[in-house]
């Protein structure tokens, strides 16, 4: 990858995108479209189909038909594996195209996008392809005249609603295990980041995935997302996004067929720095990257920095220095460290959080405002706010932007209290050279992931899931397969 290749791809026109239903690109049933605004400069990049409830119903019907006739679910594991591996190869072969298209759509800096998006997606698809023919049923320990068998079967039709921050990576977390187990899937990409995920779905067809097994409908969540949630013919619904939307999806499930709903709803993750951290300079650099990369639009972002009192001032100064050294700008420039905020709406929300933090007594020590406005794009300076209290809005509410709240603590007990002081429980970090303390903190912090002397990096081999209002169920690892599997008991008298 070099800058010339990136520049050539950024100049390419982007064709209008329809839905993907039964293996074909189709317009919305009423012909409506949505403009795709690039966060790089605010320009109209292309249009996508503005889906209707009827469009979603057609996609679900296509998925149901493909599941019932066994064109995918009835294939032997080795055959499904072959297709998925070819799909992963095609993602790799088209990685730069996919990455640049995604950056033009959602604003992630290209240096992160190439690894976190197509690179991660291909690895995830490949992981589940390799796993699917190694999943066995069970024989129960019964009396000698009974044979108890436990079969593992696909659930049927999976509805997957994907967010805008990492559509390929998170999309693959859902698609990999769901398709590996023989299910059919309907995707609903985010309105503000549909393009690369739609292209990745097209590559699945090129790899040999039968028509109807993977469908995708673009449009507004309040219309097509609601139709998916209320469908009587979706068996499992998976979603990554906001808590408010997650609650509505659970309500839709209750109002319809009581479909299983698995939610990853973000967090307010604490990154805890003890005075005995092994390398405070490294911790400061990682803390800055852990909140500011991708403009803070990362579900596990270390958005709460908890610093032991004796080192508070010096450590905050080091984080400020690291943040101010990060270059915000054109996300398709390889020298850029932080790209654009996804949308003008999200940028306004971020700035609103900063104003609230100041009104609640917080001290903005760097950043705090919109920058590069002359570009037409949506950019925000990395922002650090000190003096953030336990009950402050910046402690309790997820910003999903480049805003770091800093709180001082005295000792291990207070660190645990502060870490667990929110309704969320997705991720956290602990920096200490004391091994016993590290293990105590791992047990005490109520999150699904705890990083020790690092922040970020867990790959597909380990699960990602939260507790509390960060959701339920797990993406990644072999445990993710459980969401897309039914258990059936056979009780046989011999």
Query: Hey, what are 254's tokens?
Result: 């209750």
Burial of residue 8 (CB within 10 Å: 0-12, 13-18, 19+) is: exposed
CA gap 423, 2 in Å, rounded: 43
CA gap 312, 319 in Å, rounded: 11
> What is the phi/psi pair of residue 345, to 5°?
-65, -45
CA gap 2, 210 in Å, rounded: 35
Contact in structure between 192 and 102 (CB atoms under 8 Å) = no
The set of catalytic residues is 264, 299
For residue 33, the 8-state DSSP code is E
> What is the phi/psi pair of residue 412, to 5°?
-65, -45
- Strands 44-49 and 33-37, by their bridges, are antiparallel
Whole-angstrom distance between the N-terminal and C-terminal Cα of the chain?
Answer: 63
> What is the phi/psi pair of residue 159, to 5°?
-100, 130
> What is the phi/psi pair of residue 453, to 5°?
55, 35
Residues near 362 by beta carbon (within 8 Å), at least 6 away in sequence:
385, 386, 387, 388, 392, 394, 405
């Amino acid at each position: 990858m070099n800058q010339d290749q990136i520049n050539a791809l950024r100049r390419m026109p982007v064709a209008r995108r329809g839905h993907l239903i039964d293996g074909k690109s189709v317009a919305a049933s009423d012909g409506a479209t949505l403009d795709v605004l690039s966060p790089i400069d605010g320009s109209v990049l292309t249009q996508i189909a503005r889906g209707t409830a009827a469009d979603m119903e057609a996609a679900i019907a296509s998925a149901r038909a493909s599941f019932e006739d066994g064109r995918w679910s009835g294939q032997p594991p080795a055959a499904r594996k072959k297709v998925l591996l070819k799909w992963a190869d095609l993602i790799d072969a088209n990685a730069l195209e996919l990455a640049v298209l995604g950056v033009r759509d959602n604003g992630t800096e290209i240096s992160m996008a190439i690894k976190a998006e197509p690179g991660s997606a291909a690895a995830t698809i490949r992981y589940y392809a390799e796993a699917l023919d190694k999943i066995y049923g069970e024989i129960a320990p019964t009396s000698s005249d009974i044979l108890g068998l436990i079969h593992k079967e696909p659930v049927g039709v999976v509805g997957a609603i994907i967010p805008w921050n990492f559509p390929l990576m998170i999309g693959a977390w859902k698609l990999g295990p769901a398709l590996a187990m023989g299910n059919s899937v309907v995707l609903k990409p985010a309105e503000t980041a549909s393009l690369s995920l739609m292209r990745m779905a097209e590559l699945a067809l090129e790899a040999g995935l039968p028509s109807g097994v993977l469908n995708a409908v673009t449009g507004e969540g309040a219309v097509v997302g609601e139709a998916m949630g209320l469908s009587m013919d979706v068996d499992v619904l998976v979603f990554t996004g906001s808590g408010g939307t997650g609650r509505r999806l659970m309500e839709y499930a209750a109002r319809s067929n009581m479909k299983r709903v698995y939610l990853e709803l973000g967090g307010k993750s604490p990154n805890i720095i003890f005075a005995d951290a092994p390398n405070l300079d490294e911790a400061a650099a990682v803390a800055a990257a852990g909140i500011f990369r991708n403009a803070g639009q990362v579900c596990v972002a270390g958005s709460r920095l908890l610093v032991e009192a004796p080192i508070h001032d010096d450590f905050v100064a080091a984080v400020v220095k690291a943040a101010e050294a990060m270059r915000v700008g054109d996300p398709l420039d390889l020298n850029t460290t932080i790209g654009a905020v996804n949308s003008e709406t999200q940028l306004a929300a971020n700035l609103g959080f900063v104003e609230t933090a100041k009104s609640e007594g917080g001290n903005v020590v760097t950043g705090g405002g919109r920058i590069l406005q002359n570009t037409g794009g949506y950019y925000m300076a990395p922002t650090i706010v000190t003096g953030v209290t336990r009950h402050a809005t910046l402690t309790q509410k997820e910003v999903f932007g480049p805003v770091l709240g800093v709180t001082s603590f005295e000792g291990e007990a207070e660190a645990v209290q502060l870490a667990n002081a929110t309704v969320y429980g997705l991720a956290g970090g602990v920096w200490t050279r004391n091994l016993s303390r590290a293990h105590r903190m791992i047990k005490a912090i109520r999150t699904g992931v705890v990083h020790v002397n690092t922040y970020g990096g867990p790959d597909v081999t380990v699960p990602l899931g939260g507790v509390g209002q960060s959701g339920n169920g797990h993406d990644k690892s072999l445990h993710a397969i459980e969401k897309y599997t039914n258990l059936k008991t056979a009780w046989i008298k011999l």
